[in-house]
Amino acid sequence: MSKSLPKRSENYSEWYNELVKRADLAENSAVRGCMVIKPYGYSIWEKMQRALDDMFKETGHTNAYFPLFVPKSLFEAEEKNAEGFAKECAVVTHYRLKNNPEKPGKLMVDPEAKLEEELIVRPTSEAIIWSTYKNWIQSYRDLPLLINQWANVVRWEMRTRLFLRTAEFLWQEGHTAHATREEAIAETEQMLHVYATFAEEFMAVPVIRGKKTANERFAGAEDTYCIEAMMQDGKALQAGTSHFLGQNFAKAFDVKFMTKENKQDFVWGTSWGVSTRLMGALIMAHSDDEGLILPPKLAPIQVVIVPIFKGQEQLELISNTILPIVKELKKRGISVKFDNSDKQSPGFKFAEYELKGVPVRLAIGARDLGNGTVEVARRDTKEKKTYPIEGIVDTISTLLDDIQVNIYQRAFNFRTENTYKVDTWEEFTKILEETPGFIAAHWDGTSETEEKIKELTKATIRCIPLDAVEEEGKCILTGQPSSKRVIFAKSY
């Protein structure tokens, strides 16, 4: 172990960057803005993928794969729908390199291999997918079409941060087509709830389910739903979005169908996505100055067992006791690592597994063996307790469930403590400066006011919560009447 992590309280941002690297989650690559997701980080992402994919399939979706490239002309058809990120993208203009005649050993773009039409590396796949759906959909019998894709996408970001904002990232994008407006809205809402359930039950991150204001909406959408999570610095992180597209993309790509009543109509669309950004949310929501804290449901290693021994004989004695426990844990689907290497000291190992966020650590030495006990440390509370070896598998199993619940509850309490109901502009600005968090406040419903507030405070409306209560109030900035509170925060 090298030097310790920066402290959250001193430099939250540095703490995050260092943690991502030291815990072997990801690192910057030789390509500007693109990251390498390292094996340990990727194994967490795989667990996320598996859980989400199961939920998508349970709700009737299937996976497919569409091309990486979008021809410029298709992009133009979509452009008015997706102005936001449409233009900052990677453009393929040539299809060959050749030896540079002037510089031996060097390559150059072959000017004779210029594409007739430029290809854009997909920043999102609406254009290519809706242009395909045109051929797949003729009649109401072809609907709904419920398709998801796991893919890499590229958006040319100028300022990047590992997981939170990278030029290339991994994500899933669902693209569905429906016969009616109501069905498409129901789908949009269903997928928002799938994301919220995943965030809360697997990531142990409580989220607010809401709608974006017109300003923050995906350009091609009639409505954008989102889940918003609070990080430990009080900032919000948008963890997933689900868009009701109306008939916008169907019109842009001429996707019509024959209704049951034998009429031609445009289909109704949705799209929804979460990305490797979730890794950032997971890390920032729970971890501490010693390293990661992972919820057991997403931890690649749920239990680590560290033997404390001198010499091969002691190790063998410990192994005799431990190996049947390892076997039994695996049988129950609990992932366990018995770290019997003699290259590092137990202290080194403890620090390493703390850094990596392993939820439960067992330590056992010769004296424990004699007593028939084992020391159990939980990562979330750092509590250590001695338990009898007899029944230890049940103990661990219960403990993992406890940790999952506790991590969620802690994040929930943190959010509650850092959420403020505010009715005056003075209080609003004071909180944002002194104790950032979520602010539930009234807003007059106009984009002008929203922008003005952003300009003055850097806070944006994260969402209009789906469960917002109707109440009479006045906009914190303009004093104009308002009927419900929205959530303001600074955000990632």
Separation of alpha carbons 243 and 203, rounded Å: 22
The yes or no reply on residue 323 touching its own copies (CB under 8 A) is no
The yes or no reply on residue 154 touching its own copies (CB under 8 A) is yes
The yes or no reply on residue 11 touching its own copies (CB under 8 A) is no
Length in residues, the chain: 492
Taking CB under 8 A as the criterion, the residue among 42, 140, 257, 268 binding its own copies is 42
The yes or no reply on residue 87 touching its own copies (CB under 8 A) is yes
The yes or no reply on residue 444 touching its own copies (CB under 8 A) is no
| 172 phi/psi in degrees, rounded to 5 | -120, 145
From 34-42, 184-192, 404-412, 425-433, give the range in contact with its own copies by CB under 8 A. 34-42
Between 114 and 310, whose beta carbon lies closer to its own copies? 114
Separation of alpha carbons 135 and 244, rounded Å: 22
Between 301 and 489, whose beta carbon lies closer to its own copies? 301
The yes or no reply on residue 132 touching its own copies (CB under 8 A) is yes
Which residues, numbered 334-353, are part of the site for its own copies (CB under 8 A)?
A: 343
- Amino acid occupying residue 195: Y
The yes or no reply on residue 156 touching its own copies (CB under 8 A) is yes
Cβ-based neighbours of 9, under 8 Å, separated by 6 or more: none
Taking CB under 8 A as the criterion, the residue among 1, 7, 60, 91 binding its own copies is 91
Between 64 and 214, whose beta carbon lies closer to its own copies? 64
Q: What DSSP designation does 125 have?
A: S
Which residues, numbered 201-230, are part of the site for its own copies (CB under 8 A)?
A: none
State the virtual CA torsion across 350, 353, 355, 357 in degrees, nearest 10: -130
Separation of alpha carbons 134 and 250, rounded Å: 8
Between 68 and 317, whose beta carbon lies closer to its own copies? 68
Taking CB under 8 A as the criterion, the residue among 141, 181, 330, 430 binding its own copies is 141
Which residues, numbered 159-178, are part of the site for its own copies (CB under 8 A)?
A: 168, 170
Cβ-based neighbours of 16, under 8 Å, separated by 6 or more: 161, 280, 283, 284
The yes or no reply on residue 75 touching its own copies (CB under 8 A) is yes
The yes or no reply on residue 138 touching its own copies (CB under 8 A) is no
Between 56 and 438, whose beta carbon lies closer to its own copies? 56
Taking CB under 8 A as the criterion, the residue among 11, 60, 96, 471 binding its own copies is 96
The yes or no reply on residue 39 touching its own copies (CB under 8 A) is yes
Beta strands per DSSP E along 301-391 = 303-308, 336-338, 360-365, 373-378, 384-388
Residue 175: CB minimum distance to its own copies, A: 12
Angle at the Cα of 301 from the Cα atoms of 299 and 303, rounded to 5 degrees: 110
Separation of alpha carbons 188 and 325, rounded Å: 45
The yes or no reply on residue 76 touching its own copies (CB under 8 A) is yes
Q: 254-261 long-range contacts, Cβ below 8 Å, gap at least 24?
A: 254/134, 255/130, 255/133, 255/134, 255/137, 255/177, 256/137, 257/137, 257/138, 257/139, 257/140, 257/142, 257/143, 257/179, 258/138, 258/139, 258/140, 259/140, 259/179, 260/140, 260/179
Residue 346: CB minimum distance to its own copies, A: 18
How far does CA 492 lie from the centroid of its chain?
A: 12
Q: What sign results for the dihedral spanned by CA atoms 469, 240, 298, 236?
A: negative
The yes or no reply on residue 94 touching its own copies (CB under 8 A) is yes
The yes or no reply on residue 60 touching its own copies (CB under 8 A) is no
Would you say 269 and 180 are in contact if contact means Cβ atoms under 8 Å apart?
no
The yes or no reply on residue 59 touching its own copies (CB under 8 A) is no
The yes or no reply on residue 109 touching its own copies (CB under 8 A) is yes
Taking CB under 8 A as the criterion, the residue among 7, 9, 13, 67 binding its own copies is 67
The yes or no reply on residue 101 touching its own copies (CB under 8 A) is no
The yes or no reply on residue 466 touching its own copies (CB under 8 A) is no
From 83-91, 183-191, 200-208, 332-340, give the range in contact with its own copies by CB under 8 A. 83-91
The yes or no reply on residue 29 touching its own copies (CB under 8 A) is yes
Six-digit token pair at 134? 């045109």
**Quick one: which of 340, 200, 221, 201 has its CA closest to 272?**
221
Would you say 208 and 227 are in contact if contact means Cβ atoms under 8 Å apart?
yes
Residue 273: CB minimum distance to its own copies, A: 17
Taking CB under 8 A as the criterion, the residue among 71, 84, 346, 445 binding its own copies is 71
Would you say 227 and 234 are in contact if contact means Cβ atoms under 8 Å apart?
no
Size of the site for its own copies (CB under 8 A): 62
Where does this chain bind its own copies (CB under 8 A)?
29-31, 34-39, 42-43, 45-46, 62-72, 74-76, 79, 86-98, 105-107, 109-110, 118-121, 128, 131-132, 141, 147, 151-152, 154, 156, 168, 170, 343
